[in-house]
């Protein structure tokens, strides 16, 4: 069925379609469907738009990525289905490495995600390696690539499960997450949390990084220093409360 562009839920239905296609083509896990549903519910609550506080988080995240020495973008089955071209463009504009890291272990899915990113324009995509592990993690996501997440100073993990965010921070990394749920463990454990839909946040990150290329380092350092993640999460919750109040 073709979804008309005029449909009031066009963006949401298209995203759902991308996830369904991701599952059918073996890129996204079945668990990814549940994650998408949870995300959609929170997107309703934030008003399906990039909020003021999310814009502030995007500014800080772009500065952190841009000034990083070895930034890495971590890709799972949902991120690969929802924003492959945008994530590849982000990786070349920072520039940052791309690494596939999935929660539901499957070598086949790792390879299919890598191929999907290459088809979307990526030149190089790293895969986790069973001989390289990060500490403080039991799940499949403890395996990382030696050239990628293992030695990264900043890791961008759109749409994450909380355990790994916490472990990456304990491993001394600065972690940026995109999570529509401001109450999630990843949201609370990350260095910078962008409470927004990955489909809106990544294009804005690309735009902001382009703007920063004309900026100076001191100004960007100031943006990072002035950023307070707890405050941004509180603001996100306030925005949700305001939206709930409106519907009464």
* Least spacing, CB of residue 215 vs ligand PTJ, in Å: 27
Q: Kindly tell me which of 62 and 220 has the beta carbon lying closer to ligand PTJ.
A: 62
**Choice between 35 and 209, CB closer to ligand PTJ:** 35
How far, in Å, CA of 141 to CA of 103, rounded? 6
According to DSSP, the residues that pair with 133 across neighbouring strands are: 143
Task: State which residue has the least CB distance to ligand PTJ.
Answer: 39
Tally Cβ neighbours within 10 Å of residue 223: 18
Tokens of 163: 């355990």
Name the minimum Å distance from CB 35 to ligand PTJ: 4
To ligand PTJ, the closest distance from the beta carbon of 144 in angstroms equals: 13
Q: Which two tokens stand for residue 90?
A: 């982000």
Closest Cα partner for 178 from 203, 156, 201, 158? 158
By C-beta, is 49 or 222 nearer to ligand PTJ?
49
Nearest approach in angstroms of CB 218 to ligand PTJ is: 32
**Is the separation of the CB atoms in 160 and 137 below 8 Å?**
no
DSSP reduced 3-state for 26: coil
List interacting residues with ligand PTJ (CB under 6 A): 29, 31-32, 35-36, 38-39, 42, 76-78, 82, 102-104, 159, 161, 178-181, 184, 197-198
Q: Give the nearer residue to ligand PTJ in terms of CB position, either 132 or 140.
A: 140
- Residue 169 is encoded by which pair of tokens? 């921070």
């Amino acid at each position: 069925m073709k979804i008309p562009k005029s449909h009031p839920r066009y963006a949401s239905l298209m995203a759902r379609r991308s996830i369904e296609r991701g599952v059918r083509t073996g890129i996204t896990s079945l668990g990814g469907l549940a994650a998408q549903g949870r995300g959609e519910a929170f997107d309703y609550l934030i008003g399906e738009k990039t909020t003021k506080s999310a814009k502030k988080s995007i500014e800080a995240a772009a500065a952190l990525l841009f000034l990083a020495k070895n930034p890495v973008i971590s890709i799972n089955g949902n991120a690969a289905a929802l924003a492959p071209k945008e994530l590849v463009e982000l990786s070349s504009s920072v520039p940052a490495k791309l690494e596939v890291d999935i929660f539901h272990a499957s070598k086949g899915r790792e390879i299919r995600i890598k191929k999907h990113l290459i088809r979307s324009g990526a030149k190089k995509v790293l895969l986790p390696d069973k001989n390289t592990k990060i500490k403080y993690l039991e799940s499949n996501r403890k395996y990382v690539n030696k050239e990628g997440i293992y030695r990264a100073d900043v890791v961008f993990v759109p749409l994450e499960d909380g355990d790994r965010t916490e472990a990456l921070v304990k491993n001394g990394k600065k972690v940026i997450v995109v999570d529509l749920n401001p109450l999630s463990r990843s949201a609370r454990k990350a260095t910078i949390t962008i409470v927004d839909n990955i489909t809106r946040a990544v294009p804005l990150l690309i735009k902001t990084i382009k703007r920063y290329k004309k900026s100076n380092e001191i100004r960007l350092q100031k943006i990072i220093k002035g950023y307070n993640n707890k405050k941004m999460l509180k603001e996100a919750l306030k925005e949700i409360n305001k939206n709930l109040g409106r519907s009464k």
